[in-house]
Amino acid sequence: IELIKTSAMSLMKTINDILDLSKLDARKLELTEETFNIKDLIRDLVTLFSMEAAKRKSTISYSFTEGFPNWIKGDPYRLRQVLNNIISNASKFTQDGKISIELDYKIESHDLVTIDINVSDTGIGISKSEIPKLFEDYKQAENNIAKEYGGSGLGLSISKKIIDLLKGSISIESEIGEGTTVHIDFQCKLSKKPEVNNRIFVSHSNNSLNALIADDS
Ligand code: ADP
């Protein structure tokens, strides 16, 4: 069952990547602009990957510089997709090591901020000559990577196309055997905690424990 599940998930990831790639190439991918809590998004991702990292005897941590904003305006789903890919690579290629996510910011004007994110790992690293090609579609660092670690070489090219849509930048620094740091930055608007946007209705009858939970997404 575990094998079927892993194979299905890996197939789903490949299909979703190919769909995203063709959408991006056809310039049909539109970003949403909504207020979201970027600190919560990072904490969620760290929670999500901490079990996977632990399986490889690695630890994962994050830090925000003081005063880092909570609420920004942007596309939380696509930012999550980019970070998901970068953190999943860091976790996949790091055995018995450390993964750290550092977030910094620079206020540009009263409502504009530049967000800087570094995802560093102490994993296998990438040779300098291989780095530029990793942003191309279907490219992996070495020929035997797919055999050993899986993947399709689409994650970083999709991430770069999304970061380009955000008019930001993405770069990699790495040393074979030492580890890798992926850096992204982009500008976005500062925002405020939204007014109550979820309404929860709770009603219960005396002695039954039936629950109907509905949400609109
Ligand atoms: P995938 O991981 O699906 O192969 P990506 O585009 O996300 O595709 O990554 C492309 C390649 O870049 C990987 O196959 C690997 O060779 C290299 N790579 C990316 N991140 C790392 C990392 N943190 N450490 C070592 N190699 C990496």
The CA-CA-CA angle for residues 52, 31, 213, to 5°, reads: 60
pLDDT of residue 195: 80
Q: In the numeric block, which tokens belong to residue 118?
A: 């570094």
Nearest CA to ligand 1 atom 19: 89
Name the average pLDDT for the chain.
Answer: 90
Q: In the numeric block, which tokens belong to residue 125?
A: 């690293």
Q: In the numeric block, which tokens belong to residue 38?
A: 């970027």
What b-and-e string marks burial along 71-106, b requiring 16 or more CB atoms within 10 Å of the CB? bbbbbbebbbbbbebbbbbbbbbbeebbbbbbbebe
Q: Is 154 in the pocket of ligand 1 (CB under 6 A)?
A: yes
| Contact status, residue 135 vs residue 157, Cβ threshold 8 Å | yes
Q: Rounded to the nearest whole angstrom, what is the distance from the C-alpha of residue 35 to the centroid of ligand 1?
A: 31
| Contact status, residue 115 vs residue 74, Cβ threshold 8 Å | no
Q: In the numeric block, which tokens belong to residue 61?
A: 């941590």
Q: How confident is the model at residue 197 (pLDDT cuts 50, 70, 90)?
A: low
Nearest CA to ligand 1 atom 20: 89
Q: Is 159 in the pocket of ligand 1 (CB under 6 A)?
A: no
CA distances in angstroms from 94 to 77, 88, 107, listed in the order given? 25, 10, 34
DSSP structural state of residue 95? S
With a cut of 90, say whether residue 194 has pLDDT above it.
Answer: no
Residue-wise DSSP of 39-55: HHHHHHHHHHHHHHHHH
Pairing of strands 71-74, 34-37: antiparallel
Pocket test for ligand 1, best of 156, 157, 158 (most atoms within 8 A of CB): 156
Q: How many CB atoms lie within 10 A of CB 50?
A: 16
The residue written with tokens 């194979």 in the block is 7
The arithmetic mean of pLDDT across residues 183-201, rounded, is 85
| Contact status, residue 114 vs residue 67, Cβ threshold 8 Å | no
Looking at the CA of residue 179, tell me the nearest atom of ligand 1: 24
**Whole-prediction pTM value?**
0.87
Pocket test for ligand 1, best of 100, 124, 140 (most atoms within 8 A of CB): 140
CA 107 to chain centre: 23
With a cut of 80, say whether residue 146 has pLDDT above it.
Answer: no
With a cut of 90, say whether residue 140 has pLDDT above it.
Answer: no
